Structure 1
Amino acid sequence: MLTRLAWLALEVKYLEPAQRFYAETLEMDVRDGREERTRESGEANGDALTFAAGETDLVLRRPTGVPRGGLHTHFAFSIPAAEYDDWWDRLSERYDGDLKETQFGAAKSLYLYDPDGNCVELGQRDVDGPGIDGVFEVVLEVESLERAESFYADLGFETVDRGSERRRVRMNGPESMDLALELWEPQLGIADARGGVHVDLGFEVEGEVPTQVLEAVRDGVRSVERETDERVVVRDPDGHFLTFTD
């Protein structure tokens, strides 16, 4: 069973402006020595940075190998509910009207863009903080909702919502994982966000070896990039990279 989102990787054109955005604007800490577990190619340290988003790694990666990381990915960071107003006040001074806000029941989210065009959401969640403390949503662009929904259902995700005006499906991960995947056919969403293409996601597995997870979806993957008892890397039907690791 998938138990945790271990990493989300994004492609960045230049590391320095991306680092300033995540380290200074979003006040995230750099993790040392973590990129090697997310990449098969053994890239040089100067080609990637890894930030701490709670227990999840946010990897920023220059396009020097495969997997590259996602382009124009929309994803959501968890922040403590009580910190939301402070985040809004501080970021609105810097972005001067470019922030967007949406209410989801009792919770609010704000939206802004990083230097590489990824739509970053900061949403009120029941987390300890301080600051960013997890990734609770990732949006993937898919060619066929039905095919993608079936594939992720086989990985233990459950459909909880469907779009009435837009072709989208929201799926929650297994109970132990505070993560939702939004599957979108090509479109613009809130704050003109788009689903990511060739997104690279890593999942930890508990209670079974990664090869057992592979067997649940083998018929639906585009390709198997690596297969060992400790680590399986596949491409889903739309070309997104998924790693299952113990």
Structure 2
Amino acid sequence: MSWSLRWLALEVKRLDRSAAFYQRYLDLPVHSEHEDEIILGAGTTDLVFRRPTDIPRGGLHTHFAVSTPATEYNDWWERLSAQFDLTEAEFPTGKSLYFYDPDGNCVEIGQSTDDTGDGITGVFEIVLEVEELDRAESFYEAIGFTVVDRGDDRQRTRLSVGTFDIELWEPQLGIADARGGVHVDFGIESDDQSPTAVLNRVDSVVDTEQLENGVRVTDPDGHRLTLL
């Protein structure tokens, strides 16, 4: 099964300040603007900023990673290091840098293995805080994710659907003292299965809500996932 990440929502105190931050430092364009929500384009993914006025809220202190072509990574480092105390980590797939936005979200910019495009090309990872790894793993495996890594020194699991990953963390601090997000809201789209067919495989859904173009489900840890 193939999934693509359509959007990630973040809860913010001030829409104007948060939108301006990502426009200034990541060059993200505005896609739409409403009274309690602003949507910016992060490559193939929409980044949604919401004030806490309704359900679903966006995620709090969410750690997420955006990709950039490997050839542009050093340019981002030089540009952002003048304003932020950056943390850097190196992985088998390349380097990543980390910094924080005004609402306490940890933003990671990682080198993409695909050098097509320019600037920020999409969100490739979201970190969710969970109470029990086994339960959370079962939920997302039923959705169609595959476990690709488990931590030795930290209680975490990485699951992938090829185009992007989810990391499940029991409460902890990660690289750059990042934390997993709470009550995160995000949307994924499948090109080969209907939301109804997917839900028939999932036993631990807390709640479901039928939408015009999909189904929003609440996982056992209070994260809201829209299947399109």
CA drift at 1:105:
2.1
User: Secondary structure of the residue that 1:151 maps to in structure 2?
Assistant: helix
CA drift at 1:147:
0.3
CA drift at 1:29:
0.7
User: Secondary structure of the residue that 1:221 maps to in structure 2?
Assistant: coil
Q: 1:85 aligns with which of 67, 74, 79?
A: 74
Counterpart residue number, 2:51: 62
For 2:221, the aligned partner's letter is D
Once residues 89 and 112 of structure 1 are traced to their aligned partners in structure 2, the CA distance between those partners, rounded to angstroms, is 13
In structure 2, relative to structure 1, the CA distance for the partners of 1:214 and 1:131 (3 Å cut) is same
Q: 2:192 aligns with which of 187, 207, 216?
A: 207
Counterpart residue number, 1:20: 20
Q: 1:123 aligns with which of 92, 110, 125?
A: 110
User: Secondary structure of the residue that 1:233 maps to in structure 2?
Assistant: strand
Deviation string, structure 1 residues 96-129 (Cα, Å, up to 9, x no partner): xx11000002510000000000000000002423
CA drift at 1:208:
2.6
Once residues 104 and 239 of structure 1 are traced to their aligned partners in structure 2, the CA distance between those partners, rounded to angstroms, is 30
CA drift at 1:165:
1.0
CA drift at 1:2:
4.6
For 1:94, the aligned partner's letter is Q
CA drift at 1:156:
1.2
CA drift at 1:137:
0.4
Alignment gaps of 5+ in structure 2: none
Output the TM-score relative to the length of structure 2.
0.96
Output the TM-score relative to the length of structure 1.
0.89
Q: Does 1:238 align with 2:221?
A: yes
User: Secondary structure of the residue that 1:117 maps to in structure 2?
Assistant: coil
CA drift at 1:94:
1.3
Once residues 53 and 210 of structure 1 are traced to their aligned partners in structure 2, the CA distance between those partners, rounded to angstroms, is 25
Once residues 106 and 148 of structure 1 are traced to their aligned partners in structure 2, the CA distance between those partners, rounded to angstroms, is 26
Counterpart residue number, 1:222: 206
Alignment gaps of 5+ in structure 1: 34-44
- 1:10, 1:199 within 8 Å by CA — same for their partners in 2? yes
CA drift at 1:21:
1.0
Counterpart residue number, 1:136: 124
Deviation string, structure 1 residues 9-67 (Cα, Å, up to 9, x no partner): 0000101210121001111111137xxxxxxxxxxx12111111112111011111000
Counterpart residue number, 1:39: none
Deviation string, structure 1 residues 200-238 (Cα, Å, up to 9, x no partner): 010112223211111111x2111112267x411110110
Q: 2:147 aligns with which of 155, 159, 164?
A: 159
Counterpart residue number, 2:166: 181
- 1:78, 1:127 within 8 Å by CA — same for their partners in 2? no
User: Secondary structure of the residue that 2:147 maps to in structure 1?
Assistant: strand
Once residues 68 and 44 of structure 2 are traced to their aligned partners in structure 1, the CA distance between those partners, rounded to angstroms, is 13
- 1:2, 1:155 within 8 Å by CA — same for their partners in 2? no
Counterpart residue number, 1:107: 94
Deviation string, structure 1 residues 112-170 (Cα, Å, up to 9, x no partner): 00000000000000242321001110000000000001111111111111111111001
User: Secondary structure of the residue that 1:140 maps to in structure 2?
Assistant: strand
- 2:7, 2:188 within 8 Å by CA — same for their partners in 1? yes
Q: Does 1:191 align with 2:191?
A: no
RMSD: 1.4
- 1:233, 1:242 within 8 Å by CA — same for their partners in 2? yes
